[in-house]
Amino acid sequence: MPATVPVADRPAPSGTGPGSAAVPVAGSGFALGAALLGFFVITLDALIVSVALPAIGSDLGGGISGLQWVVDGYTLMLAALLLSAGSVSDRIGAKRAFGLGLGLFLVASAACALAPGLGVLVGARLVQGAGAAVMMPATLALIREAFPDADRRTRALGLWAVGGSVGSAAGPLVGGALAGWDWRWIFFINLPVGALALGLLGRAPSSPRRAVPFDVVGQVAAVAALGALTYALIEGGQAGFASVRIVAALVLAVASAGVFLVRQARGRAPMMPLDLFRSRPVVAALVAGFALNVGFYGVTFLFSLYFQTFRGMSAALTGLLFLPMTLQSVGVSFVSAAATRRFGARATMVAGQVVMGAGLLVLCLLPATVPVGVVAVLLMPVSFGGTLAVPAMTGLMLVSVPAERAGLASGVLNTFRQVGGAVAVAVYGALVTGASFTRGMRTGLIAAAVLLAATAALAALRARTPRYLKPCPARRRSGCRR
């Protein structure tokens, strides 16, 4: 399922709209290439690890909780730092921020590949997630700076989105193929791709800097809250949620979240302004993003373990079993754009949530002896629903806030989505650790389906689609905004 991608750009400033004389700046193609490759490795590394988890556990040791940290270490830092990464990009310039984030990402990738133990691997994954967080908003900023014309920028963003979709689709397949040989190559593969991106970045146009504030207290509180919550959810599955260290972690999470909310309410430059939540479409998009990632990342994590530990499949075959699910995401993005134009953003988003939730319920009902090929086919509605909903959800979010807040809103939405993925892996792991694997898996899938049903109902009943994302009447297409 692709990351958050706008399906319709905001109206461009005067002189940069359709038919204007604005043209891409010199080196714009190199900027787009670098941004596309950067987005590709960010999404690739969110999923490539899941299929390799049994191989990593066999080589480095550690139970389910240790393997959960290999996944969540990355998504945790990506979620926590995305809130302020946009400010970093503005302060030092998008080109420099992208180079800094990518360099950090590549060093951490090499450390992951060479890790002598599980602790080093988890630590390197945390750093890798931090590098990805710095890169993410810089990829979009590079494109916006290189393509001042709205039409060309929209096409460039479409290519950028394809990079993320290909990364998502390739993750399980490439991870399975490499893990069957040596799991360390799932991290080594980042190095040539990153080197090419750095080469392209060197020929991209320079980026301006802007004096924007940075909320240090809020950022530290966000990291502490998410880190403590993730620790409690992962370790609570084995230690028990009544144990002293788990209770202490939960108290720290609540206290840190309180500090964060107070800071956002009273600070001069909040990373997540609380008045965003006064908008019903914004709230609907945020909770939908959280729920969609709970379903998608949870399914990828659970069924990677299910195919290999419960059904005895190899890592390479497991990757192939995920291929139908992930490959369709490349084409469904275009279906989502067409559906949004025809039916509106809200209806398209709700439809995607319903399809994913129905797919999760079907998976719950499968008997233990069902052929793995059938399971692979029945995973497809989960991916289809998510990929259908995400572009529409993003468009709904971005047009529901003022233009000057579009970047901030995108960062908040991406944060909610990544938190959903991290929470899913933590909770699902605790469920399969504390009970039989199949019972815990079914409980998690049902919970995710219920969450999707609730967020779909919220969007259907409470989120009114902004006028310029509603379907255009057939006779008035030329006057409608896209």
In a domain, 17, yes or no: no
Over range 15-23, report the average pLDDT: 45
- pLDDT in the model for residue 434: 62
Which residues constitute the domain of residue 159?
A: 24-205
The predicted-structure confidence for 164-199, as pLDDT tens digits, reads as follows 777 777 788 888 888 878 899 999 999 999 999 999
Rounded to 5°, the CA angle 38-186-329 comes to: 60
197 and 252 share a domain?
Answer: no
Q: Model confidence at 401, in pLDDT bands (50, 70, 90)?
A: confident
253 and 280 share a domain?
Answer: no
246 and 309 share a domain?
Answer: no
2, pLDDT greater than 70 = no
Q: How many C-beta atoms lie closer than 10 Å to residue 362's C-beta?
A: 15
Is residue 392 helix, strand or coil?
A: helix
The total domain count for the chain is 3
Over range 238-248, report the average pLDDT: 85
- Overall pTM surpassing 0.85 (yes/no): no
Over range 326-349, report the average pLDDT: 80
- As a whole number, the mean pLDDT across the chain is 82
450 vs 156, residue with greater confidence: 450
Last residue of a domain, one of 157, 181, 205: 205
92 and 223 share a domain?
Answer: no
The predicted-structure confidence for 27-76, as pLDDT tens digits, reads as follows 778 888 898 899 899 988 888 888 888 888 888 877 777 888 898 889 88
101, pLDDT greater than 90 = yes
Q: Model confidence at 305, in pLDDT bands (50, 70, 90)?
A: confident
401 and 319 share a domain?
Answer: yes
**Residues 6+ positions from 160 with CB-CB distance below 8 Å:** 5, 32, 35, 36, 39, 139, 140, 143
Nearest alpha-carbon partner for 89 in 133, 47, 51: 133
299 and 409 share a domain?
Answer: yes
49 and 194 share a domain?
Answer: yes
- pLDDT in the model for residue 482: 36
In a domain, 2, yes or no: no
Q: Do 26 and 205 contact (CB within 8 A), yes or no? A: yes
In a domain, 10, yes or no: no
In a domain, 311, yes or no: yes
282 and 390 share a domain?
Answer: yes
CATH number of domain containing 388: 1.20.1250.20
**Residues 6+ positions from 118 with CB-CB distance below 8 Å:** 56, 60, 61, 62, 66, 69, 70
375 and 466 share a domain?
Answer: yes
